[in-house]
Amino acid sequence: MSQALAFANGWNLATTLMVCVVVFQSGTGAYGVMPSGEYDGDPAAIVHEFDPFQP
């Protein structure tokens, strides 16, 4: 997915489920979104982390 769509989905997922979410870039240049607790990929691939508990 595109970066803009990944950021929109990441924010929505974080605020709806109240979990920390990471937006990461895959090797093909696409972006992905998943809960932080489930991400076990390369930390350097993380583009942004949404934390719904931070103001």
Q: For 2-45, how does the pLDDT look when each residue is reduced to its tens digit (9 = 90+)? A: 999 999 999 999 999 999 999 999 988 899 999 999 999 999 99
Give the chain's domain count. 1
Which residues, in sequence order, are CB contacts of 32 under 8 Å at separation 6+? Answer: 1, 6, 23, 24, 25, 26
31 - beta bridge partners? 25
Q: Residue 34: inside a domain, yes or no?
A: yes
The reported pTM is 0.88
Query: What per-residue confidence (pLDDT) applies to 28?
Result: 87
The boundaries of the domain holding residue 38 are: 3-50
Query: What per-residue confidence (pLDDT) applies to 4?
Result: 95
Query: What per-residue confidence (pLDDT) applies to 27?
Result: 83
**pLDDT over 80 at 55, yes or no:** no
Q: Residue 21: inside a domain, yes or no?
A: yes
Q: Residue 55: inside a domain, yes or no?
A: no
Query: What per-residue confidence (pLDDT) applies to 52?
Result: 95
Q: Kindly provide the residue ranges of all beta strands, DSSP E only, lying in 1-55, ordered along the sequence.
A: 21-25, 31-35, 46-50
